[in-house]
Amino acid sequence: MKTIFRYLAIAAFIAVVGGVGLLFTPLGERPLTFLLPVGDVETVNFAELKLTGAPNQFLMCPPGFCGAKPSADSPVFDVPVARLLARWREVVAAQPRVERLAVDEDGRQIDYIQRSARFRFPDIVTVRFIAVSPSQSALAIYSRSIYGESDFGVNRKRIDAWLTFLREGL
């Protein structure tokens, strides 16, 4: 009888280790993505945006553009809005695990989803491109987590990194 329990324990251990190991491989991405769906993404109206107060979000806007108090003011770029948008697309295309979800009619507001490397937690990033003048532009960016209360600063770090890459190519 002890032998049967020993074999069952060994089989259970192998199954658990194998299952956990599978989650950390490319094959494991699909079940994790399935288990952590994005759901419906509401269109963000930056002028009427209200933040939830949860620490798992980051908002960057030009002064006076957003209804909510931003976490940071957006820089003004000395390029036309079309050039800023083109460079943004290059930056986002180079980021891992990013998928474009939606683009508005004028092409100046885009929703993305980026999933975390290990567990594939989805975060939503909405960006709005704003023409300040014919030769200057700015961004409004709202990055937020779908799951969890805290993001350990991931949303802010993501936007800071993306803006660093953006500036390098302008």
Query: In the chain, what are the domain boundaries?
Result: 1-35, 41-168
pTM: 0.81
Closest residue by Cα to residue 38 from 126, 152, 105: 126
> Measured between alpha carbons, how far is 14 from 145 in angstroms, rounded to an integer?
34
CATH topology for 41-168 is TATA-Binding Protein (3.30.310)
Examine the pLDDT at 162 and tell me if it is beyond 80. Answer: yes
Examine the pLDDT at 88 and tell me if it is beyond 90. Answer: yes
> Measured between alpha carbons, how far is 82 from 56 in angstroms, rounded to an integer?
30
Examine the pLDDT at 40 and tell me if it is beyond 70. Answer: yes
With bands split at pLDDT 50, 70 and 90, how would you rate the model's confidence at 17?
Answer: low
Contact between 166 and 87 under an 8 Å Cβ cutoff? The reply is yes
Note the pLDDT of residue 54: 87
> Measured between alpha carbons, how far is 62 from 60 in angstroms, rounded to an integer?
7
Examine the pLDDT at 18 and tell me if it is beyond 90. Answer: no
Structure-block tokens of residue 46 = 């930056």
Category of 152 on φ-ψ map: left (φ > 0), alpha (ψ -120 to 50) or beta: left
Examine the pLDDT at 120 and tell me if it is beyond 90. Answer: no
Examine the pLDDT at 59 and tell me if it is beyond 90. Answer: yes
